[in-house]
Amino acid sequence: MENKLSFFFKGQIWHLGGTIVLFYIGAQFVDLKSNANTFIGISSSGWFMFAMSIPLIHQAYVWICWRSELCWKSISNTIGFKGYIILFFILMISRLSAIVLCFVDYGSLYAPGWFAWILSIILFIPGAFTMYSVKKYFGFLRAAGADHFDPKYRDMTFERRGIFKWTPNAMYVFAIGIPFAFATATGSQSMFIVAIYTYISIWLHYFCTEKEDFKIIYGNNQVS
């Protein structure tokens, strides 16, 4: 790595810049002015903003931690991998707040019925199988980027069991599609916006952050 500072910021104009632009576009398209529903005192607009903010915060956090670790071992020398993981999963779990949005904005796009519910199950199954495959074969620590911190993970073969048999990027192809299942089941316009925003932004993370990191971690042996 010739220029560590340059590598630290590499791709982030597209990643974070693109995610911020998507955030803005989504906020322009959503229409919650006439929605008076609340949950635990938070309006539907508040839940929408929270659901949109968490992916941005989460991905920015991952970028900072991964790149600072690869460049300067900053995380290992401060909060450690355990500290990183705790906050990583707090942010990951916080993404589930979008489920609340589905119900405070229920039926804003269409009135869901049996067709929508069956379709949502079809959309949900690949995501659920992905999470099962991650737990059984891949491991949640590895999924959280343990290979940036612990060399032993770099010697592991790329997983080809479970859903990874079909694609090495199953977490991005299928698991991140789960929000579409909830949006479809509830007919929530705002949840569809969150789902599209989340799906595109995670691919920006993959191409602009993770894939670039793989070039440093794995060299010519990186996964496609």
pLDDT for the residue 109:
95
Q: Is 11 left (phi over 0), alpha (psi -120 to 50) or beta?
A: left
Q: Which residue's entry shows tokens 């959503």?
A: 30
pLDDT of residue 60: 98
Q: Inform me whether the pLDDT recorded for 223 exceeds 60.
A: no
Q: What are the tens digits of pLDDT across the range 166-200?
A: 888 888 888 888 999 999 999 999 999 999 999 99
At 149 the three-state DSSP class reads coil
pLDDT for residue 170: 85
**pLDDT at position 167:** 85
- Give me the domain span that covers residue 122: 4-221
pLDDT of residue 1: 65
pLDDT at 177: 84
| pLDDT (tens digit per residue) in 60-112 | 999 999 999 999 999 999 999 999 999 999 999 999 999 999 999 999 999 99
Express the helix, strand and coil content of the chain in percent, nearest 5 each: 75, 0, 25
Render pLDDT for 125-159 as a digit per residue (tens, 0 to 9). Answer: 999 999 999 999 988 999 999 999 998 888 887 87
In this structure, the number of other CB atoms found within 10 A of the CB of residue 179 comes to 26
Contacts of 194 (CB under 8 A, 6+ apart): 26, 48, 51, 52, 98, 101, 179, 183
Q: How many domains does the chain have?
A: 1
